Structure 1
Amino acid sequence: MSNKQDAAPSGGLTRRELLGSSAALLIGASAPGAAQALTFRDTPEWKPLANVAVEPVDENAGWQFFTEEEAATVEAIVERLIPADALSMSGKEAGCTVFIDRQLAGAYGDSERLYMHGPFQEGTPEQGDQSPLTPQQRYRIGLSALDDHCRNEHGAAFAELADEQRDQVLTQLEENEIALGDIDSQVFFEIVLQNTMEGFFADPLYGGNRDMVSWKMLGFPGARYDYRDYVERHNEDLGLEPVSIGGRPDWQAQG
């Protein structure tokens, strides 16, 4: 009886011939010298950070969006939103203002990736902010109005107030008790708070979380290549030094 599985169209390989040729290839690959024959050629040389799509933030490049006065106000805000304590440095020391400045100078700041055409109507809380203002405009208007309010009520700009006064003003913003011109003070507070938290916990590549301070505080190992050996290990300190998307400083020094 003939084996129909071995039959093949005219001019083609039969199943038996295909299996035989595959076996021969495997045997040949295991023979001495085969590894050299199968080595990939003309592969690009690996370089540290070559696969990183985002350019690491240069903290010494100066403010990209904020004016000096605006930056001073934001630094005073983030320092009170995340004050220094026994667990970590403050939001200011961690570079949160640098993070926010670079985000505002980029696609986030001008809502480049959002639909920003009218009509604009007041939405429900679930729909979020329906304003035509971009984050850049909201920060510019809000920071100016905030300093004007502080000068009128306290005789000095926000950055010049004592810590207790700063906390009082921030509480009033959160409770929508301060008029900030064309913007809602509560929404302004929530945006600054959200951006501050993003800067504190984001990868240091983006300018905040200096020295991976928040990751070290939480015990988060960072952007490591493979976590398969640790997936089932819950609620324990893995003892792993955190790694940024851009690697560790000692890697960058070697690059």
Structure 2
Amino acid sequence: MAEENNQSGMTRRDFLKNSGLVVGGVVGGGILGSLLTNSFTDETSPATDTEGEQTDQSGGEQLTKARMFFKRQEDFRVLSAAVERIFPEDDTGPGAVALAVPFFIDKQLAGEYGFNSREYMEGPFHEGAPTQGPQTGMRRREVFLYGVSKIQEVAQDEHGEAFFDLDGEQQDEILGAFQNAEVDMTGVASDAFFTMLRQATLEGVYSDPVYGGNLNMDGWRIKKYPGGQMAFFDVIEADEFIEMEPISLHAHHT
């Protein structure tokens, strides 16, 4: 399939840009099914290391980008490098890092999504069919921490360098090993972790900026998605596609 895409001039990003699956399927559930809560246990206290903190304007809202879950800068850098390989910057638009996807994932892991708070998490845990999803007692926050540290471990073992210092081809090889379940992990399969990581990346790219990703709504601009427009009465009968400036949900609450 990759060869066919190259012959037709279609890149990974072109496929994502033109695919209705991302908006209609992936983003329709998962992370966005829960909102970030403001209460934290000691385990989820905001990280004291706020290196890389910045501010931005998203849908008229000024957001502070500071880590809330990942306490170690090394782990956050591995996560950032991994999501950028899954959704890299190219001539169609910004990549995952520029779209603040690492901060989006960080915030979601600090909240209900990270705790699997709306899911049944009691045992027994037996290996299930591929269609049944991960059969593990580990919460997503635990899976992500474990998975990120495992990515770093594989990079050090195979290349003697940190994952974020490797070139793109080497990073892709490591992520491909996770995707193909070729990395030994305890409690969760490596391909299950990769699936979570990929889904979280795409949701961070295409979700409303109020959730912490899709910085400046540039993920929507890639697909010419208009966001949370109040109505389309003035353009619904237009014969041609009408490109509109996207609107964040935040705009409806200001």
TM over 0.5: yes
Aligned residues: 197
How do residues 151-166 of structure 1 correspond to structure 2 at under 5 angstroms? 151-166=156-171
Q: Name the counterpart of 1:242.
A: 246
Q: Name the counterpart of 1:109.
A: 114
**Aligned Cα RMSD in Å?**
2.4
Instruction: Please point out which of 178, 182, 193 is paired with 2:183.
Output: 178
Structure 2 unmatched ranges of 5 or more = 1-34, 38-57
1:225 counterpart letter in structure 2 = M
Native 8 Å contact 1:145 1:181 kept in 2: no
Q: Describe the shift of the 1:123–1:230 C-alpha distance in structure 2 as closer, same or farther (beyond 3 A).
A: farther
Distance in 2 separating the partners of 1:85 and 1:211: 17
How do residues 1-255 of structure 1 correspond to structure 2 at under 5 angstroms? 59-66=63-70, 67-231=72-236, 233=238, 236-247=240-251
2:196 counterpart letter in structure 1 = I
Distance in 2 separating the partners of 1:180 and 1:160: 23
1:242 counterpart letter in structure 2 = P
1:244 counterpart letter in structure 2 = S
Q: Indicate the SS of the match to 1:247.
A: helix
2:147 counterpart letter in structure 1 = G
Distance in 2 separating the partners of 1:60 and 1:203: 16
TM-score by length of 1: 0.71
Native 8 Å contact 2:80 2:102 kept in 1: yes
Distance in 1 separating the partners of 2:242 and 2:97: 29
TM-score by length of 2: 0.71
Q: Describe the shift of the 1:212–1:61 C-alpha distance in structure 2 as closer, same or farther (beyond 3 A).
A: closer
2:167 counterpart letter in structure 1 = A
Deviations 1:73-92 (A, max 9, x none): 01001111111111111111
C-alpha displacement at 1:181, in angstroms?
Answer: 3.7
2:249 counterpart letter in structure 1 = I
Look at both structures and tell me which one has the larger radius of gyration over its CA atoms.
1
Distance in 1 separating the partners of 2:237 and 2:175: 42
Sequence identity percentage? 34
Most deviating of 115-124 and 136-145: 115-124
Q: Describe the shift of the 1:118–1:230 C-alpha distance in structure 2 as closer, same or farther (beyond 3 A).
A: farther
Native 8 Å contact 2:84 2:95 kept in 1: yes
C-alpha displacement at 1:237, in angstroms?
Answer: 2.6
C-alpha displacement at 1:210, in angstroms?
Answer: 0.8
C-alpha displacement at 1:59, in angstroms?
Answer: 4.9
Deviations 1:158-212 (A, max 9, x none): 1121111101111111111122343211111111000000000000111111111
Distance in 2 separating the partners of 1:54 and 1:163: 32
C-alpha displacement at 1:61, in angstroms?
Answer: 4.9
Native 8 Å contact 1:83 1:89 kept in 2: yes
Native 8 Å contact 2:210 2:248 kept in 1: yes
1:198 counterpart letter in structure 2 = E
Which structure would you say has the larger RCO, counting Cα contacts within 8 Å and 6 or more residues apart? Answer: 2
Q: Name the counterpart of 2:40.
A: none
Deviations 1:94-115 (A, max 9, x none): 1110110000000000111111
